[in-house]
A and B are shown apart, each in its own frame.
Chain A
Amino acid sequence: MSLRASLVHFIAGDPQAARVVPPTGFTVWLTLFSAAAMAFLAVFALALSLATGRLAERWGSELARSSTVRISAPAGQMAAQTETALKLLKTTKGVARARALDADEQSALLEPWFGPGLAIDALPIPQLIEIIEEGEGFDAMGLRLRLAAEVPGAVLDDHTRWRRPLVQAAARLRLLGWLSLLLIGGATAAMITLAAKAALAANAQVISVLRLVGARDSYIARAFMRRFTWRSFIGAVLGVALGCGAIAMLPAADPGGGFLTGLGFQGLHWLIPLIIPPLAAFAGFVATRGAARKTLKEMP
């Protein structure tokens, strides 16, 4: 029977059939426990993937406008120096755009520190120029030298550029998260296969009685598949509940927060772990089907 046909038969078939398999034995706990543990881990791997994804995105977008040039000059020279700096930046390779912030934008930046309604004109604050990079970005050292030569009051601030390798690391971390999910799925299937094989071996007498009364091997296999699929599902539900609970109890993430406090689900992402139990059930189904077919074929 093809996988699809046996899945249909499994879902539509006689739900009583599972009862011919004793509901007891250590394999019950083995299956429940491994499904729960794996689902718990899967929740974290999922959270890791999603969080690093968000982080990479955020840092990536911050990188695009990561640099500023700050010009501190006597009031009379400010406009001229700003003009020179902008001209210089326009001819710098790797700079997409350079733009002087206007007074409103500057006071908005200062507002968190000095409160609203700041009379910015009354203060000798520096002029900021925002640089938007392109391609590989600019050569910071070269730009600094040129600025020093032509705009004495300019300071290039590229403090967020150090994040560039981190964005790459975050993307890599996300990949590792997905890989872990795959590995967890594989390990779950392997453990359930072992548990199912142990259960089949432990129930050799049940199988011989069933065969004596004319049960086909497919019927016997289905009975075991029902038991194990159901147990994998229940175990995974428990694991997901625990995992989500643990994540919900992590300290609250502040919006601009670092990596660790950002681990978790946001909004609709909380629904994603719900696919873990059905996936675990499917893994249980496929694993038990393989184990049962093989074991029954080998049993005398």
Chain B
Amino acid sequence: MPLVRHSKAEIVVFGERPVINLENVAYSYGGGELLSDITLKLQPGSFHFLTGPSGSGKTTLMKLCYGALTATSGQVTLFEEDVRGMSRDDLALIRRRIGVVHQDCQFLDHLSVAENISLPLMVSGRDDLKQSANLKELINWVGLSPRAGALPPELSGGERQRAALARAVIMSPDVVLADEPTGNIDWEMSQRLLRLLIELNQMGRTILIATHDLALIRAVKTQVQARVLRISKRRLHLAGADL
């Protein structure tokens, strides 16, 4: 039986239990509150954009969504488990179900691009032959085949973002959180990466993308049903239909 809920941020959701659920969450880095009273429910299979001025807290909100930060108040549940009660090991298992593209794309600089992309497989012990075929295909998909053997410091900004996206999706995670994944990428390549995310979404994956790029949002909205969330004045709003 699908539920209907009215959250404080007026985000009305239908369907099953949310995979990521923030309830009245506030966060501060020590000074004043950066985010206040945030309620966000990401239903399985939903596609969301997150926008807002620079410094409004998009990255911070993303970090709350994968347990890298702990809310100063309110409740965060990931796959129906409260982050506060999680051990480090629980969190590690959750991270395998959430693919993250960091805004500043960190890699292990002493390993090749291909090894970095397959890192999630490696650390979860799924580093087998069957996966290596997928790995090649994926590297090809993001257009990094010629750079697969390079070291991350040798990559351009756009190449780093593509590698980060490939690393985020290689485990075929339930949720993909991408922070400015197309910041340094030309229009054509960003369309291509978005297709990958849209395909994942059509396979039932949950997607949340933080971006400033309104053209990108419009392009996606012609292909899938996507909601646009906006952070302003410390709160989360559902953006109007004009986007």
Contacts and interface: CB of A to CB of B under 8 A. Distances in A.
Contacts of A23: 110
Interface string B153-194: 000000000000001000100000000000000000000000
Interface stretch (A75-83, A151-159, A201-209): A201-209
Given A213-B119, A214-B124, A22 B108 contact: yes
Interface stretch (A12-20, A110-118, A176-184, A239-247): A12-20
A19 B111 contact: yes
A101 interface: no
A217 B89 contact: yes
Nearest to B125: A14
Contact of A214 (B107, B111, B115, B123): B123
Contact of B95 (A17, A20, A213, A219): A213
Given A16-B127, A20-B119, A216 B107 contact: no
B17 to A, nearest CB: 22
A214 B95 contact: yes
Nearest to B90: A216
Nearest to A296: B88
A205 B96 CA distance: 19
A46 B127 CA distance: 45
Nearest to B99: A213
Contacts of B111: 19-20
B88 A214 contact: no
A24 B92 contact: no
A215 B123 contact: yes
A217 B109 contact: no
A215 B106 contact: no
Interface residues of B, number: 27
A212 interface: yes
B235 interface: no
A208 B122 contact: no
Interface in A13-38: 14, 16-17, 19-20, 22-24
Interface in A259-300: 296-297
Contacts of A216: 88-89, 92-93, 123
Contact of A209 (B89, B92, B93, B106): B106
Contacts of A211: 91-92, 95
Contact of A22 (B106, B109, B120): B109
B212 interface: no
A210 interface: yes
B181 to A, nearest CB: 15
Q: Which 3 A-B pairs have the closest CB atoms?
A: A214-B96, A215-B123, A214-B95
Interface of B: 68, 88-89, 91-96, 100, 102, 106-111, 115, 119-120, 122-125, 127, 167, 171
Given A16-B127, A213-B119, A216-B92, 20 more contacts: A14-B127, A17-B122, A20-B108, A20-B111, A22-B110, A24-B110, A205-B106, A206-B108, A209-B119, A211-B92, A212-B100, A212-B102, A212-B106, A213-B96, A213-B167, A214-B96, A214-B120, A214-B124, A217-B88, A217-B92
